[in-house]
Structure 1
Amino acid sequence: MSIHSEKTNDIVDPASEKVADDSSVQDLLKKARNEAIKPIFLAKMKVLNDAIADCGMGRYQYELFFSAGFGWFADNIWLQAIAIVMPAIANQHNFPDYSSNIRMATFALYVGLIIGSTFWGMSADVIGRRTAWNATLFLSGIFGVAAGASPNFLTLCALLACIGFGVGGNMPVDGALFLEFLPGSHQYMLTLLSLWWAVGQVVGSLISWIFLAKFSCDTSLVGVQVQPDGSLYQCDNSNNNGWRYSYYTMGALMLVLAILRYFVFPMDESPKFLVSIGRDQEAVDVVHRIAKKNKTTSTLTVEDLRTAALPYLDNDSVYSVPTTKFSTWELIRNSFEHLSGDNITGLFATPRLAWSTSLIIFIYGALGLAYPLFNAFLGSYLAARLTETGSTSIDATYSAYTYQAACGVAGSVVAAVMVQWSRTGRKFSMGFFTIMAGVFLFALTAAKTSVQVNALVSIASFWENAFYGVLYGYAPEVFPTPRRGTGDALASASSRVTGLFAPIIAVYSNAGKTPNGPVYASAGIFIFTGLTMFLLPIETVGTTAL
């Protein structure tokens, strides 16, 4: 069914003028001004949210929980792939040793993450969510396998940057897309999605533990033992392939997940995104497919969206069209409107929005520095601290790493429960979790035994995954659909930019030369940022995201 794209007198009947005086219409106009979004879009969102709620929480959303989780899984498994195997890579002949620039591999990954999160996040508001959804896992898989075959350190860094470009789009895009298919009553599932982030850390540590324990060289023999050919023992491709096998395995795993996502769990374009660019009929079709998979029915029609838009035609000069029959030129014009910077300026259009957006970007940036200061070098930290306590085996290091990763899973579950409790909500939960992570990291610096080290690292991991779960659910809820990808992209890019400084601090600062130095810095940032979270002006518990 198509409706003329021009605004004509026979479309707007006299009844609509009466409706326009209704208090609910005025309330919506006020909300649209406060949120700096177009009234027509807001009116359609109310209808669309009701339709998605009527579809219920069913098979469609649960399948999407798994396929969206693949992206969060990928994000953390590659962060861990650097942190865990870096000491083994540093042993490779002709690679920088651990005390020098080997940690700049993390810098290379973050360069790719910055470009990827910005590109994929902002493009999601222009060309849609599906392109990034289908491309990111595939790219990280291809370059992950290639990284395992790196002949030298420069090539490895280049390929890690390429992995970062691919995987960088997962956090800003996958969470936003999942949210846009959820009924308002189940938005806590976005926080629970962080469960996959924690699982990625567990799987990454297990894969690395298996291969590094069996296929790593004996550093005590380097330059000492004479080989049968008369050369001195060194770590090379004949005895130090554990890190390569780890990369091969994780890259192949990404390709498997990409195939599952594309063929087994194919997704529709977000109906909210489709409405935001004027493609109402396609949005309606998607809602009906959701209802069908959930074994229910939907009565949503294009006419419902058109009727909801009618009272606001005079208040929206750009979208004076109540329906979705856009010409090619109109679609091109709308695309350029997205590219013009409106999506960015719209995030700061009112004092409340500007304060909220600025705080979110600051929080992402602060945590983006604090988290890798400790976690990006956790493998080497555990090796150093456990050696101090008398545990020197590689199994001791990687078993400790796996324990703390597993505790992060529980943190995600607790976070999903607390964000639904009206007495805590998103802001309090997020701030409390972040402060507690800092407290236990401070306690970690005083640990004297291997049991204390393992216990405190695990507890800190619990709180870290909890606050990240809430944060990555909260931000997409605050940003409205037309600017959600852009807002997530700015926040995620802020996190990646500050993350660049973690390896620089670790390599060049005096604090980075002791195991506890970065931990002190990370703990202090966590506590300060947790207090900042209480200043956020918007609480999203009990509200449905636009």
Structure 2
Amino acid sequence: MSHDNNTNRLDAAGGLQPPSPDLPHKENEDEGTIVDTESLSSDTTARAKQEGIKPAFLAKVEVLNHAIAEIGMGRYQYELFVSGGFGWFADNIWLQGIAIIMPAVANEWRGYPTVRLATLALYVGLIIGATFWGCSCDIIGRRLAWNSTLFIGAVFGIAAGAANNFVTFCAMIACCGFGVGGNMPVDGTMFLEFLPGSHQYLLTLLSVWWAVGQVVASLIAWGFLARWGCETPAAGTFCKKEDNMGWRYTYYTLGAMMLFLWAVRFFVLPVYESPKFLASIGKDHEAVEVIHKMAKRNGKTVELTVDDLYRAAAPHLTADEKLAQENDRSATTKFSTWELVKNSFDNLSADHVTALFSTKRLAWSTTLITFCYAALGLAYPLYNGFLGTYLAQKNAELGNMNLNDTYASYTYQAACGIPGSIVAAFMVDWSRSGRKVAMAVFTLCAGIFLFGLTASRTQVQVNALTSMAAFFENAFYGVLYGYAPELFPTPSRGTGDAICSAASRITGLFAPIIAVYSKAALTPNGPVYASASIFVATACVMLLLPVETRGRTAL
């Protein structure tokens, strides 16, 4: 990136040097040609209108994307992949944590089917958490949610393990869900906004952490519940607490693990605020500072200046906006975290939501992707949310009453989700299929194998079919959670992810209701058949999405 010597640069102390005057044309030093800025401005305006964002922001984000590409993939992004993975890991840890311990909780307290309402409590927390953290990250910023969600989930997860009655257990699980609900919409958004366009496939690969979370939860539960679990008691009786401590030990361990990961994220792998978010709210000098910090962390240098962003945005600004830009460029006032929070909420409005429907293509994309999240949000927990119960009932039908067999089956299928995420990352970037086709194929295959599961007659068939279903489920979720953040522009990305996640969690509320009150739920195959049908239908809808994000750097 070439620049004039008198442009506004960060000096050694981090201050800003005086800017150079605006120029109507800019000389290309490599070719000695003159670039018509009026033509570039017209192109930017047309593209911004299509994407549903302001031309000034599009101009700035293209400069930032160029700087991030110039820095390249390095230490900071790999650290972000690990610490961001903690959030995805935590999300599935607690989703699987409630599913795995369900038989043990039923044995101690309420029995079937009422105990399944604990899943309802978790989803209430997830809905509130996804909405709050996802929307607030477009107002306050990504960093506060990033540093809070793991801690909240850990504390209340441990508290749930110490609950002495079912109502308290449900309350603690709901509070845990409030923290956990912010992980998926916020962590993917943060990671994407630091990635060079050539490495956006890593957002799909991030789902491998989600699969690992399921494996870890399965192994921990298997160890504790098989050793300290109570076998299903006779009808009308319940297990004593001291004979059924396995699920509590499971929750203590999962909560302690989350606390450890939060400490690593907060103290060992600290993050910077997203430069694209900062640019979207006019904090250009802070965005430039972050780019330079990231470059330093990667062992690189970059010549980006505040004046570069100003030059890019200037043709698209009104007189008042230019004055605001000038004031921001010379600002030196530092605010406390609480002052930043209060100042950010001054901008609270519905603009982030309406922006997602500002053009016909964006409105259609937002509507369809939200539908896909909602449909899969019902289908996935309808099967996976009660998989522990399903396997216990299925094993009983096959004459296998051993708890060890049930949790072994659960662990086998969980492990098969890991290669699913890896294959998904390959398919979205290194094959010609792109995001939409890969996502649809994986979803269709998951439905097909679940249909097969309803006809299984042996333990080997059950294990094989649940394992293949897990492979394709983790694959389509990996693509889905990578595609949606790429689809939404930065100013409303968190809100878009929040809407999708909330839709997924809201429909997920119906899974325990169906499991409790549906006649189909009286047999283990009923919810599985319903889940498979939804997967197949959703795969068809995915092909109607109007935007293919493969090869496109996120705005």
Deviation of residue 387 (structure 1)? Answer: 2.2
The corresponding residue for 2:117 is 104
**CA–CA distance in 2 between the matches of 1:464 and 1:326?**
50
Q: Which residue of 1 aligns with 2:495?
A: 486
CA contact (8 A) 2:101 2:247 kept: yes
Give 1:306 shift. 1.2
Secondary structure in 2 aligned to 1:238?
Answer: helix
- TM-superposition CA deviations, 1:138-178 (whole Å, max 9, x none): 00010011101101000000000000000000000000000
Q: Equivalents in 1 of 2:381, 2:410: separation in Å?
A: 15
Matched, 1:341 2:341: no
Deviation at 1:12, TM superposition (A): 4.5
Supply the distance in 1 between the matched residues of 2:89 and 2:168 (Cα, whole angstroms): 25
Structure 1 residue 422, shift from structure 2 partner: 5.0
2:68 matched residue in structure 1: 52
> Structure 1 residues 535, 338: CA separation in 2 closer, same or farther (over 3 Å shift)?
farther
Kept in 1, the 8 Å contact 2:306–2:329? The answer is no
Q: Alpha-carbon deviation of 1:338?
A: 4.4
Helix, strand or coil for the counterpart of 2:504?
helix
**How much has 1:317 moved relative to structure 2?**
6.7
Match status 1:523 vs 2:536: no
Q: Secondary structure at the match of 2:551?
A: coil
Unaligned runs of 5+ in 2: 1-7, 11-19, 27-33
How far apart are 1:221 and its partner, in Å?
6.8
Distance 1:124 1:389, change over 3 A: same
**Match in the other structure for 1:434:** 443
Match of 2:100 in 1: 84
Which of 344, 352, 366 aligns to 2:361? It is 352
What does residue 24 of structure 1 align with?
Answer: 40
* 8 Å contact kept, 2:24–2:37: no
The answer (yes or no) to whether the contact 1:179–1:476 under 8 Å persists in 2 is yes
Amino acid in structure 2 at the alignment position of 1:468: Y
Conserved 8 A contact 1:278-1:326: no
> How far is the alpha carbon of 1:303 from its aligned partner?
1.3
Cα shift readout 1:401-450 (whole Å, capped 9, x = no counterpart): 11110100000000000000352000000011001100110011111110
Task: Give runs of aligned pairs for residues 154-233 of structure 1, distance below 5 A.
Answer: 154-220=167-233
Alignment-derived partner of residue 135 in structure 1: 148
Aligned counterpart, 1:228? none
Per-residue deviation, residues 249-286 of structure 1 (Å, max 9, x unmatched): 10111100110000010111111111111111111111
The residue that corresponds to 2:53 in the other structure is 37
Q: Which of 63, 69, 77 does residue 61 from structure 1 map onto?
A: 77
Residue number in structure 2 paired with 1:280: 284
What is the aligned counterpart of 1:540 among 535, 545, 549? 549
Are the aligned partners of 1:117 and 1:492 in contact in 2 as well (CA < 8 Å)? yes
What are the equivalent positions in structure 2 for 1:202-351 lying under 5 Å apart? 202-220=215-233, 235-314=239-318, 321-322=324-325, 324-325=328-329, 335=344, 338-351=347-360
Q: Among 98, 108, 117, which residue is 2:130 paired with?
A: 117
| Cα distance change, pair 220–341 in 1 and its aligned pair in 2 (3 A) | closer
Assess if the C-alpha contact under 8 Å between 1:412 and 1:465 holds in 2.
Answer: yes
- Which residue pairs with 2:511 in the alignment? 502
The worse-fitting range, judged by mean Cα deviation, of 214-223 and 74-83 is: 214-223
Match of 1:229 in 2: none
Percentage of identical aligned residues = 63
Structure 1 range deviating more: 283-292 or 115-124 = 283-292
Determine if contact 1:279/1:326 at 8 Å carries over to the other structure.
no
SS of corresponding position for 2:139: coil
Query: TM-score, length-normalised on structure 1?
Result: 0.92
CA 1:271–1:505: 2 relative to 1, 3 Å: same
Map of 2:427 onto structure 1: 418
Instruction: Count residues in correspondence.
Output: 526
Q: Determine helix, strand or coil for the equivalent of 1:266.
A: coil
Q: Is the 8 Å Cα contact of residues 415 and 467 (structure 1) preserved in structure 2?
A: yes
Q: Mark the CA change 1:492 to 1:234 in structure 2 (over 3 Å): closer, same or farther.
A: closer
Cα separation, 2, equivalents of 1:30 and 1:200: 43
The one-letter code matched in structure 2 to 1:414 is V
2:29 alignment partner in structure 1? none
CA offset digits 1:57-82 (Å, max 9, x no partner) = 11111110000000000000000011
Aligned to 1:226: none
Pair 520,318 (structure 1): closer, same or farther in 2 beyond 3 Å: farther
TM-score, scaled to structure 2: 0.91
Whole-angstrom CA distance in 2 between matches of 1:337 and 1:361: 28
| Superposed CA RMSD | 2.2
The structural deviation recorded for 1:531 is 0.6
Q: Secondary structure at the match of 1:246?
A: helix
Deviation readout 1:214-249 (Å, 9 max, x if unpaired) = 1112335788xxxxxxxxx95122211111111111
